[in-house]
Amino acid sequence: MCGVSKQLLEFQGKTLLRLAAETALRAGFLAIVVLGAKHEIFGKEIEDLPLKIAVNEN
């Protein structure tokens, strides 16, 4: 498992990133996810969810 981003580790059949985003949405929050490095990969994981994705280029 060396070299795998923590956000993409799976737990109960979903990635940790997706689980966190879904949990925020279920709680009724307006979810804004800020992505940095590898944002192209991570964004694909949650692009179908009704949330805002912001990219930090720095």
The helices-and-strands tally (H runs, E runs) of the chain is 2, 4
In a domain, 12, yes or no: yes
**How many of the other CB atoms lie within 10 Å of CB of 12?**
5
What angle do helix axes 39-46 and 16-26 make, rounded to 10 degrees?
50
Distance (Å, whole) CA 28 – CA 40 = 26
Residue 1 lies in a domain: no
Is residue 14 domain-resident?
Answer: yes
Residue 41 lies in a domain: yes
0.75 surpassed by pTM: yes
At residue 2, the pLDDT reads 66
Residue 3 has what pLDDT?
79
Domain of residue 45, residue span: 6-55
Instruction: Specify the pLDDT at position 58.
Output: 86
| Ranges of the chain whose pLDDT falls below 50 | none
Q: How confident is the model at residue 4, as a pLDDT?
A: 83
For residues 29 and 25, give the distance between their C-alpha atoms in angstroms, rounded to a whole number: 5
Q: So what's the pLDDT on residue 41? A: 94
